[in-house]
Chain A
Amino acid sequence: MKKKIVSAILSAAMVASLLVGCGTTNAPEGASGESGQVESEAAETEAEGTEAVPEAVTTVGPDSGTHMEMWSFVEAHNTFYAQMLDKWNEQNPDRQIQITFTTYPYGDMHQKLIMSLQTATGAPDLCDVEMGQVPNVYEGVDQWLYPLNDAMKPYEADMLKSRLDAYKGSDGNQYGAPFHVGATVMYWNLAELEKYNITQADVDAVETWDDYTALGKKYIEARGEEGKYFTSVDTGGADWLWIAMAEYGEDWTGGFEGKANVQLDSVKKMLTMQQGWLNDKVAEVSPDGHVDLEAGYQNILDKNIVSFPKAMWYMSRFKNYMPEEKGNWYITKCPVFEAGQNCSVGIGGTGTVVTQQSSDPALAADFLCFAKMSPEGETKIWEDLGFDVCNTSLWSDDSFAHDESNYYNTFFRNYPYDVLNSIKDNIGTIMTVEISPTINEQICTTTLNEVLEDGMDVDSALAEAQNAVDLEQ
């Protein structure tokens, strides 16, 4: 009899373990307080294997409100949305919302989102989508995502149009709400340059890339030290090439209608110029491929490079990784190839989307646009996240742009928004379309390495890249 019981238990356990494998694992939900207080439940778990493990889960808002789920890959974004949700609930007593915010690692979150959209189940109401992933998530256009066209109407007039366009779908609908412009500017370590008699006036005088190269040579000569360079060029990111394209008004993606072409004059010019810098020891190749990585921050802290172009959101990297650099750095617009060209381009970004699976997509869209496009939300984005906001009406607002209590306004030697205001009409856009990830991958894994590391001829490297891109279109 005993044996029977044991064998019955064992077989039950076997069947149960078999079935458990089929079940889905839901992210743990944080308990929510009746008063709408934030109760956070940080799940510090190790992410291993393929299962997406949330890094943090928080529920905000009253139980009586419409319940929604929101995912992000940056915890600071979720903290921001949570604070904006409290404001929304204060201002809209008849449209209360309760949101469970979950932060996942970058790759896991996007894969989970795409899978849930494709299978039409399990998607959150709202979700952050990184620029590079936009084409994958936008593939299902209005079958997957809810257009924000109506919800953003109250704020649309003040928003930078080129930035909104970057988050439009192939059907012309607005699906993503942007965080920032991502305007590319030049960062200069003026404290270091001054040690070698290069003044702010010298830096301000740089108009073209030729001026920039000349100043670089002057610095390298004055410094005369092994391992110290004027700038670093990237093999793991296409930012420099985006700047070049924006300056000449070109776009290798060809937009939604056209064909992709990477063999552009602007790209060739930039790559050829960079090869020259490497030969003249004006530049080095960025350690680990680009400046926005640990090795890149260390390179800056070690004063191995003293200038580089990067989007304005890179300011937050100074705050988070290089706070000791306070007071050393100066921001200007980027040099151009020929006078009169655009001198900046919007790079990177997070477009937040509302999915069609949402319990109340219209309400979710209204909240999203309030959080990311209203002056209140934009002020908070600048204060908490340090991004160059898309609401242009704020740029010239003294209490916003010159606020001395703001970390970034005192961190740099000049006011970041002064630079942004001066380049307001010169910010170009490179479209992010279906072919974009293919181009980006080919350029960042192969072409840039061939040209900058192996010294390969620019034309043949680009021809090879074009072949790879053509295979996909």
Chain B
Amino acid sequence: MRWILNSNITGGAGAIEAKASHSSKKEGNTLSFKKFLYSQKTAPYVFALPFILSFTIFWIYPLFSAIIMSFQDIGAVTTKFIGIKNYTKLLKDSVFHIAMANSFEYMLFTCLLLIPFPLLYAVLMDSNLVKAKGLWKALLYVPALTSVVISGTLFRLMFSEYKTGQLNVLMTMLGLPAMKWLKVKFTSEIALLLLCCWRWTGVNMLYFLSGLKSIDKSLYESADIDGATSWQKFKFITIPLMKPTTIYVLTISIYAGLSMFLESFMLWAGNSSPNNIGLTIVGYLYKRGIEKDDMGYACAVGVVLMVLGLIINFVQLGLNGTLKKEED
């Protein structure tokens, strides 16, 4: 406030005074800005501002906007509220039910495959049983660096129903009839899971490996002194102490499984698979929102997916005790 008063008082005076007041104004300005920035109350907000802004603009706003849109019929020219019609339609929509079943199935199997195996590999990598560990780690991790667009296309060609497809060449060599891999539910599910495991085993293994590194080695040593077997050490030390990592991997696997889209999109070269065997919830959302330009209905699909994902994860986190208050 000081500089404002200053400038007001000296307003009608000579040039020198004006100059002086100008410099003091500048100084005062910098000072108050500094004060503002260095104040313990505001600084955290200032530094968090970029995140808060991007989070609000790109997450919170679309989230609420999508919830509102899910109650609307969004036409080319007019948009009107239609109550819960989009949701009642979802109840009757058999294609949506197929997509739900597919996504859940995929989520379940990826969780079943992508937790025990990477954990096993991580334990192996941490032990003295494996040689050339760096090479193995790199080999398992490299798929995660490739684009799903490319790997999906390669898997599509491998699983092609044509006689020249890699797997069918293999089948012919074994004297078996050629298969229409991506037209049958069972074999296409295998292709999808194979693609997923190929891509993510290395990543999950690294999570577990970092978890293993944080376990105090003295625990194993004292177990050795007590005469524990390797299995007992694994069961009573490794598994319990790996719980936080496992919960983290499980939580992200549930979200990733439920929101899978690109793998299926690339494997069938588009969003249409025979009898919708490869259609996922997000695939259906894309189909409705983008391909059929029915944003209201697509938003309803999205909201259902979000609610389901939250419920499953809260139940899961509740069951394994993560949400409980830390006990002293």
Contact = CB atoms under 8 A, between A and B. Distances in A.
Nearest to A114: B293
A75 to B, nearest CB: 20
Interface string A128-151: 000000001001100110000000
Interface in B144-159: 147, 149
A471 interface: yes
A139 B75 contact: yes
Contacts, number: 66
Name the prevailing secondary structure of the A interface residues: helix
A140 B76 contact: yes
Interface in A408-460: 437-438, 441, 444-446, 449-450, 453
Given A111-B290, A118-B76, A18 B275 contact: no
B93 interface: yes
A441 B94 CA distance: 14
A287 B272 contact: no
A468 interface: yes
Contacts of B275: 445-446, 449-450
B50 interface: yes
A311 to B, nearest CB: 21
A21 B92 CA distance: 39
B158 to A, nearest CB: 14
B89 A471 contact: yes
Contacts of B57: 22
Contact of A295 (B50, B77, B160): B160
A406 to B, nearest CB: 33
Interface in B40-55: 50, 53-54
Interface residues of B, number: 29
Nearest to A136: B293
A438 B288 CA distance: 10
B76 A18 contact: no
A14 interface: yes
A445 B274 contact: yes
Contact of A288 (B89, B95, B149, B161): B161
Interface in A281-299: 287-289, 295, 298
Interface in B176-202: 180, 183
A15 interface: yes
B273 interface: yes
Contact of A143 (B76, B95, B276, B291): B76
Contacts of A22: 57
A352 interface: no
Given A144-B76, A289-B274, 11 more contacts: A18-B53, A118-B293, A136-B292, A139-B77, A143-B76, A287-B161, A288-B162, A295-B162, A446-B276, A468-B95, A471-B93
